[in-house]
Amino acid sequence: MSKMNIALRFEGEKLFAEAEISLDKKLSEFSFILNSGLEISGVSCDDNSAEPTIEAVYEPLFCAEVKKYSVKCGSGFGRVKICYSGKISGWHNIITNDIIELNRYGVWLPCEMSCEAQSFLTVSGCEDYFLVKGEFDGSLWHYSAGEWDMNIILYRKSVMKAVVGKNISIYFADDSLTEAAEFSKNIFDDVLDYYTKELFRREYCGGHTEMACLYPALTSGGAYKRYGLIVCITPGTDEKEAVTVNAHEMAHTWCNGADAGSWEDWLNETTAEWSMLLYCLDRNKTEIFDKMIAEHTEKYPELPPIKTADGSRPEGVHTKGTVVFYELYKAFGAETIKSVIRLFVDLDVKTTSNLLDKMKALGLNEAAEMLEKNLS
Ligand SMILES: [Zn+2]
């Protein structure tokens, strides 16, 4: 596989990066996308400078606006270097003096390149910062991951706080969140207990989880989950928030694998949300259960059907699917929902039609029919 080494540094609200891609085979043309707000100051192929051409400007699903560039060098080349800088934009992307967060939704690094590449990052000038999931060698921070896992989260050490438990470490930058972080750590452990012993009945394969809370750099915007990482605004300032952020995001350890860029994403989101709701029922947190159902039910009528004619991902699959499962729950009970979630987790190819087939094979014909009807 090709390799990309990125040297990154920050100045005020701007990032400065040099990305050097070593190709595993020679190419005569190379293309990539990058956040539209970042300016390219130079591109070279091997050691010859080259002029990038803008092929398109668009917004990939969930992402900030990007420019697609291509670079042609005449003869084949094995190394491309791209220097760029500027302010970042996109969901959950921010550069402040105390907290920095960059992720794939901001397309802050060259993505969708002509070749797949393993990425290696160094951050300079951040001796006074802590990089979540990074390693410090005395002068540089090091980080490596695949394209969608290039989540760069830095806290200035003088403001960073941490609550460290056996299963989770929670990072935050505001004293007012200390109690909430302690509470959230205990909820995480309890959810883990319910998922591994009762709902999924298998070991947790998510490793030690690092939870990065972005408040006050960000004050709204929800959460996302990657391997061993939960990125959120706060650890939950009340019990409902602590339960939803921990239980929904942790459930994605098992509830994933359906195509997130299509309508089939309802499977990932609905099974994760209902794992959380089943935890609430099991632990007698019925008030949280009722509130969550009421919030989803209220939004339901304005949302389009889950299944689209062209296969695209409609808005609101998370909410729509949760209400569709609520209908199943009312008709067939919690055990049926647990069975459906376990069937989804065990699917080899995670599609709705495969799930419906498995439900019918298990004798859940009526539930399968109701589900199918409510998707359109
Ligand atoms: Zn989710």
Q: How far is the CA of 32 from the centre of ligand 1 (A)?
A: 28
- Residue 24, classed as helix, strand or coil, is strand
Per DSSP, 363 falls in state T
Q: How far is the CA of 233 from the centre of ligand 1 (A)?
A: 15
The one-digit pLDDT tens for each residue of the chain (376 residues) are 999 999 999 999 999 999 999 999 999 999 999 999 999 999 999 989 999 999 999 999 889 999 999 999 878 899 999 999 999 999 999 999 999 999 999 999 999 999 999 999 999 999 999 999 999 999 999 999 888 889 999 999 999 999 999 999 999 999 999 999 999 999 999 999 999 999 999 998 878 999 999 999 999 988 998 989 999 999 998 999 999 999 999 999 999 999 999 999 999 999 999 999 999 999 999 999 999 999 999 999 999 999 999 999 998 989 999 999 999 999 999 999 999 999 999 999 999 999 999 999 999 999 999 999 999 9
What is the reported pLDDT for 136? Answer: 98
> What are the residues facing 118 on neighbouring strands?
3
Q: How far is the CA of 271 from the centre of ligand 1 (A)?
A: 9
Q: How far is the CA of 251 from the centre of ligand 1 (A)?
A: 8
Q: How far is the CA of 266 from the centre of ligand 1 (A)?
A: 9
Tokens of 53: 């051409």
Please give the backbone phi and psi of residue 29, each rounded to the nearest 5 degrees, phi first.
-145, 140
CATH number of 2-156: 2.60.40.1730
Confirm if 341 and 328 have CB atoms less than 8 A apart. Answer: no
Confirm if 371 and 356 have CB atoms less than 8 A apart. Answer: yes
Q: How far is the CA of 120 from the centre of ligand 1 (A)?
A: 27
Q: How far is the CA of 308 from the centre of ligand 1 (A)?
A: 20
Residue 82 one-letter amino acid: I
List the one residue out of 195, 334, 330, 206 whose CA is nearest residue 272.
195
> What is the dihedral angle through the alpha carbons of 102, 107, 113, 115, rounded to the nearest 10 degrees?
30
Q: What is the pTM of this model?
A: 0.86
Q: So where are the chain's domains?
A: 2-156, 161-251, 265-374
Q: How far is the CA of 33 from the centre of ligand 1 (A)?
A: 26
Q: How far is the CA of 272 from the centre of ligand 1 (A)?
A: 6
Q: How far is the CA of 248 from the centre of ligand 1 (A)?
A: 6
Q: Among 1.20.210.10, 3.10.150.10, 1.10.390.10, 1.10.580.10, name the CATH number for the domain at 161-251.
A: 1.10.390.10
Q: How far is the CA of 41 from the centre of ligand 1 (A)?
A: 37
Q: Which residue has the tokens 């910062």?
A: 129
Q: How far is the CA of 249 from the centre of ligand 1 (A)?
A: 6
Tokens of 267: 């499977």
Per DSSP, 205 falls in state -
Q: How far is the CA of 225 from the centre of ligand 1 (A)?
A: 8
Q: How far is the CA of 127 from the centre of ligand 1 (A)?
A: 34
CA distance 225 to 251: 10
Q: Which residue has the tokens 């090709």?
A: 2
Q: How far is the CA of 269 from the centre of ligand 1 (A)?
A: 5
Per residue in 147-163, pLDDT tens?
888 999 999 999 999 99
What is the reported pLDDT for 207? Answer: 86
Q: How far is the CA of 112 from the centre of ligand 1 (A)?
A: 23
CA distance 84 to 97: 21
What is the reported pLDDT for 198? Answer: 96
Q: How far is the CA of 224 from the centre of ligand 1 (A)?
A: 7
Q: How far is the CA of 94 from the centre of ligand 1 (A)?
A: 21
CA distance 81 to 42: 8
